[in-house]
Structure 1
């Protein structure tokens, strides 16, 4: 039985409705857009499944459904949950109207939506914990772990599948463990990966995508949007934090928000790097690589800001014309010229096109940038590794043994490495290479 037949049968049996249209979304996570009909009324639905491409979840999908269901029962605007399809697995929810960004709105309308959003976060953070605990929503086992529970879940999943050295993650995770968040006793239901919402005509419709939500430090919900702001532009965060407090939120703790922000910048690397090292055929390699590249730069920029550093970028070499240049051009033009009416095939062609441009750029400048990375290691390690694999392994061992003694030097080194890597993702001027910095934090007193 196909996935679509399983969904249609479940909706007929559990909702008494007939599916009239069903479309698999063209994206990296399994999801279906469904129109069902009951008593002459169209029911727009979403069936949300698990990640594909060998990318594990940090919290079970059923946990996500349970949190969303309780949030709705407690008056938080989220898509209503209709139930669980064990045979996929997936869960069924309403498909809400609206859009995730602010296109077409004035600044004043955008600000009004964000006031509503901050008020809903404040309301969520005031809710009693008991209904969430009764539904099985996870929390830290001790008060000292509340501030690190979410990032700890990401780290646990990454370490369980770790398949190559990762000196960047070991460096920033180590720094965070030496500089833990003091939650001052705060604990509430949180969406964690906050800033995901739908609005329509300047009014908030719903909070979306609570896959990483749990019971934790409410300051995390004020930190996570700082990265998403580089794309969606939520407005000035100090103003948003005042709106949150005015709506009844817990007192804003800027030190905790900054530490949570640094932690959150690691989540793409933690979630996707093992898959990138050994990708499955159906993974969206370039989307995941782009996310990691962008947010790894955010991580080093955020840590550099915390340490008070002026980060110095490296020089990027001119492109070299290799023997493979003509073949790369041919492949890119072939992929650009293929057209189809099938949305999912168009999506996969776009993945292939971006892969081709990445491989082309690596062919042009990759060897010179790899040599620059290895040259950088000589002064730190006392020797120059022969290959990038040897370099990554040696740098990871240095980081693990260092215990913070070279934080500033390492931050500068990782910044240069990340800038170099970012410049291999596509041609100059392309969206894959562009970098958008986060809003700075106010100066610490």
Structure 2
């Protein structure tokens, strides 16, 4: 069948409009970036006596700039780290993050050196550490040696005196009883301050955690909290990175957080890692506390991003945040099911329905896949648009059946079937809040099925957005 030349023209025109729209957003971003770059260059010149060669805004959801400078004839690579964008609030102030990193550096913990604060942005300036995240190119033995060093650095951090951190204003719980929940409490407080829709999953797991608090046994130290982020080069640890959620809390939190990141980076056997931590002088490993912290930590993406996902700003990285939430919500429910001794049962997934919009979705996905550009920011936005299109396409194929299945699941719990998913979420949240733990097992199974369904709307079967990677199991409790 001959190709319709008008259709070709329409395809090219629409593709051009999409790139032009992205280009308009890129132009606006560049105008803002130009002002930011001027502030960065001025500050580095004035406060560090360095000559700025290039300033590059990273194409990502958080404000960060890579700076190449030179001083006294030597290269000076820097990072300028700002706040989250897209209306997503931080759990601890950015100055708190900078202060914690500075004290860690002064106490000999390998973190990037902090140079100072730029009021105009706001942001802080630090060394850009050579190396890479992850373990690509390393043997298993090299990775294990690297992780032994990392666990040793955590042990050193946990044994440092608290006084320098307290003098720098690093936050801690008001009472010993709050040490184990201070970090997750900050996340919850920020979420509740902006809560804009019912969230029965969060209310269920947060309620369970409050009924089953961590017993810290008096442990307290400076902690990274979102641990497991590092740079290495040739198998040598170069720096511990990203202390935005760090504070003074339970050191067992730093042993719990990497369990989720392990699903992507593969740190090794956690029992052996914990042995290395103890051998290096860390606190006695408390597996009960680690398991509870792991459940709590798995909620943090949902707590941090859900309000924005319910009402996103145009510049938000919607699909990245949605993907993170879908993956880690499953980790939370799986970890709770493991704690409760449940065998979680996944739901049956329906075949895709071919709707009237199917051809249009195919056309949009194919078009976005075929567009390319040399502009890094436009490329970043187009990748998000492509993922967005595949998510909406999948919702068109299975969304109605998934919604009906979710509502059907509520009948044994509520005694009736709500008419809409909005009514269902509100009714389920009210049930959870009033339940007080009487139906924990039943609700855990219900939320597992709901999360599996939701995960399977993010893209076509077999896509990276739909893939789920389970965490290493905990040893059997005695």
- Give the TM-score range, shorter chain: over 0.9
SS of the residue corresponding to residue 326 of structure 1 reads helix
Q: In structure 2, how many angstroms separate the alpha carbons of the residues matched to 1:256 and 1:46?
A: 35
Counting only pairs closer than 5 Å after superposition, residues 32-431 of structure 1 correspond to structure 2 as 32-431=65-464
After TM superposition, which residue ranges in structure 1, 4 or more long, deviate above 6 angstroms?
Answer: none
Q: In structure 2, how many angstroms separate the alpha carbons of the residues matched to 1:121 and 1:373?
A: 43
Q: In structure 1, how many angstroms separate the alpha carbons of the residues matched to 2:83 and 2:361?
A: 34
SS of the residue corresponding to residue 344 of structure 2 reads coil
1:339, CA displacement in angstroms?
1.2
Match of 1:21 in 2: 54
TM-score w.r.t. the length of structure 2 is 0.93
Q: In structure 1, how many angstroms separate the alpha carbons of the residues matched to 2:445 and 2:276?
A: 36
1:37, CA displacement in angstroms?
1.2
Q: In structure 1, how many angstroms separate the alpha carbons of the residues matched to 2:43 and 2:356?
A: 55
Match of 1:5 in 2: 38
CA deviation string 1:116-140 (max 9, x = no partner)? 0000000000000000000000000
**Unaligned regions of 5+ residues in structure 2, if any?**
1-33
Q: In structure 1, how many angstroms separate the alpha carbons of the residues matched to 2:118 and 2:82?
A: 9
Q: In structure 1, how many angstroms separate the alpha carbons of the residues matched to 2:389 and 2:255?
A: 38
Pair 1:436 & 2:472 matched: no
SS of the residue corresponding to residue 295 of structure 2 reads helix
1:259, CA displacement in angstroms?
0.3
Q: In structure 2, how many angstroms separate the alpha carbons of the residues matched to 1:85 and 1:138?
A: 22
1:335, CA displacement in angstroms?
1.1
Q: In structure 2, how many angstroms separate the alpha carbons of the residues matched to 1:44 and 1:358?
A: 39
**Unaligned regions of 5+ residues in structure 1, if any?**
none
- Two-structure CA RMSD over aligned residues (Å): 0.5
1:330, CA displacement in angstroms?
1.1
Greater C-alpha radius of gyration: 2
Per mean C-alpha deviation after superposition, the further-off stretch among 33-42 and 59-68 is 33-42
SS of the residue corresponding to residue 222 of structure 2 reads strand
1:244, CA displacement in angstroms?
0.2
Q: In structure 1, how many angstroms separate the alpha carbons of the residues matched to 2:112 and 2:474?
A: 33
Match of 1:31 in 2: 64
1:399, CA displacement in angstroms?
0.1
Q: In structure 2, how many angstroms separate the alpha carbons of the residues matched to 1:405 and 1:22?
A: 56
1:332, CA displacement in angstroms?
1.0
